[in-house]
Amino acid sequence: MAIRDIRVIGDPVLRTPCEPITEVDDRVRALVTDLLETVDQDGRAGLAANQIGVLLRAFSYNIDDEVGYVLNPKLAELSETTQDGDEGCLSVPGLWFPTKRADYARVVGTDLDGGEVMVEGTGLMARCLQHEVDHLDGHLYLDRLDRAMRKKAMAAVREL
């Protein structure tokens, strides 16, 4: 398996919703290995399958030395309380913009054996879970910016 190249903004795969995983086969096992190896690098918090060009619903995370993955994740709970903070993305390299997110998030999905997985957290973990599920739905964090900030962000993206 390998550390995979990250697709960047402008690649249509990032705007394509991912398909549910219906069968865990060698391809899915290899995908999970690649997601885990690719996210396990300094400065990486999360990685969705479409960021490495695979249109399946899976992501990996690397928060506070906790590295894991979720297949077919669904946001099960979000707090009403929010956090404001700068957010970045491997697919939008070098840019960070203030993005409002729920302060708490819980994701449910499955593992490679079909067992239920639940990942939850506040702060950075909550931000990561929401960010990665957005990716799997074909959205970038830039879509969540208010109009004025989005205009500024898109100008910065064009300069890349």
Residues that are catalytic = 132
For residue 60, give both structure tokens: 């990996």
**DSSP H helical segments within 46-146, as ranges?**
123-136
Closest CA to 133 of 93, 78, 85: 78
Collect all residues with Cβ–Cβ distance below 8 Å to 15 and sequence separation of at least 6: 138, 139, 140
Alpha-carbon distance values, 36 to 66, 143, 150, 154, 157 (Å): 11, 26, 31, 30, 27
Report the SS3 class of residue 92: strand
104-110/66-78 β-pairing: antiparallel
Closest CA to 134 of 157, 100, 158: 100
